[in-house]
Structure 1
Amino acid sequence: MGNTPQARRGDTRQRIQDVALELFAEQGYEKTSLREIAERLEVTKAALYYHFKTKEDILISLFQDLARPLDELLAWGQQQPRTLETKQELMRRYSVALESALPLFRFMQQNQAAMSHLRPGETLKDRMIAVGDLLRDPNAPLTDQVRSLSALFVMHTSMFAMQHLDAGPEEKQKAALEVALDLLAQAHPQERPDTPDAA
């Protein structure tokens, strides 16, 4: 328990979330019981029930915590001009939000069958679509719209598709962000500083 990397504030709710996520990753969501979570935490099941009644309640709370920075990012993005500079800053901020949510995304990857009938996945999908809408210009040529949306997915696939590349997590994330920013720049040729004239 002491080696939990995310044992952040000594806050019981946070500790329950961290330990549950560890167990979900180790043995799968379906195979993990509340009793096992309580045992790993060295608390009674009653103490666990005080905070969460079911495994899904724990999962919902994790997704709500993930959604909060995304909601703040969306609120910020909706107030900004739809320029290349804004979209690139949005992507930089999105990269930071993703980094803090990495354990949850690992859980989603490893528990796809369970995720298909759990409510929280839909909430996250809606927010990703909203971020994509901020990046994409609906009046741009289709190829540029695809580039803008691809920038978003590069950030996600980097966490899984690049697992076997010979580089550390920070290096991979930095490379993925660079590619995402480049895709956004390609989708806005008229705003690129190295493009003298769109015509």
Structure 2
Amino acid sequence: MPRRRGDTREQIREVALELFAEQGYEKTSLREIAERLGVTKAALYYHFKTKEDIVTSLFEDFKADIDELRSWAREQPVTPELRREVVRRYAEILRGAGKLIQFMQENGPAVREMKAGGDARERFRAFAEILVDKDASLPDQIRARLSLFSLNLAFVLRQEIDADDEAVHAAALEVALDLLPSD
């Protein structure tokens, strides 16, 4: 049975992330991605013209999930429980985007150069505003942002901590919830 276009596209994205993790973004070529997949460069070009196009497609999925959560949260009355639920849901989005988060952290300089990376940072800032009032104290504003950042950082730490991914995720969520300012 032939592969559907969407399947091939998803396989390209997965293989690219694997190679980026192994070699780094800058050192990975489209030719290597095609070779790992067992397809021609022309077949790869049918789906993506550049490595940045691949990364942009990954960011688009992630951003859509974040935007959906942000839209939902903005329609809710702001309460401490809403903020806790937002952090829980954000943690689940990150869990699903683990390889992308790891890529972002390991390839910071390259990501900063990409438009998609800049968009992600802007979304993070806007998302943090849901977690704390703009008139809150500076320590509370920092706590809210650290809450989100701690979930991102867990992806780096899981390689350094002797615990399985589930345990690290649960611990990071606990820390993130504890960091939220108390209203």
Same fold (TM over 0.5): yes
| Residue number in structure 2 paired with 1:39 | 35
Contact 2:112 2:118 in 1 (8 A): no
| Residue number in structure 2 paired with 1:51 | 47
Amino acid at match of 1:86: L
Aligned counterparts of 1:48 and 1:162: Cα–Cα separation in 2: 32
| Residue number in structure 1 paired with 2:132 | 136
| CA deviation profile, 1:15-72 (whole Å, cap 9, x unmatched) | 0100111111111111111111111111111111111111111111111111111111
Is 1:111 aligned to residue 103 of structure 2?
A: no
The Cα RMSD (Å) is 1.6
Which runs of structure 2 are paired with 1:113-128 in the superposition (5 Å)? 113-128=109-124
Question: CA shift at 1:139, angstroms?
Answer: 2.3
Which of the residues 82, 89, 99 maps onto 1:86?
Answer: 82
Aligned counterparts of 1:144 and 1:106: Cα–Cα separation in 2: 27
Which of the residues 67, 71, 89 maps onto 2:67?
Answer: 71
Q: Structure 1: which 5+ runs fail to align?
A: 1-8, 190-199
Structure scoring higher RCO (CA < 8 A, sep ≥ 6) equals 2
Aligned counterparts of 1:32 and 1:56: Cα–Cα separation in 2: 11
- Identical pairs, percent: 53
Give the count of matched residue pairs.
Answer: 179
Is 1:20 aligned to residue 47 of structure 2?
A: no
| Residue number in structure 2 paired with 1:179 | 175
Question: CA shift at 1:145, angstroms?
Answer: 2.3
Contact 2:147 2:175 in 1 (8 A): yes
Do the aligned partners of residues 117 and 140 (structure 1) sit closer, same or farther apart at CA in structure 2, a change above 3 Å counting? closer
Is 1:188 aligned to residue 182 of structure 2?
A: yes
Q: State TM-score, norm by structure 1.
A: 0.84
| Residue number in structure 2 paired with 1:194 | none
| CA deviation profile, 1:54-92 (whole Å, cap 9, x unmatched) | 111111111111111111111111111110000000000
Aligned counterparts of 2:111 and 2:137: Cα–Cα separation in 1: 34
Which of the residues 72, 92, 95 maps onto 2:91?
Answer: 95
| CA deviation profile, 1:110-130 (whole Å, cap 9, x unmatched) | 222322322211011011111
Question: CA shift at 1:162, angstroms?
Answer: 5.0
Greater percentage in helix: 2
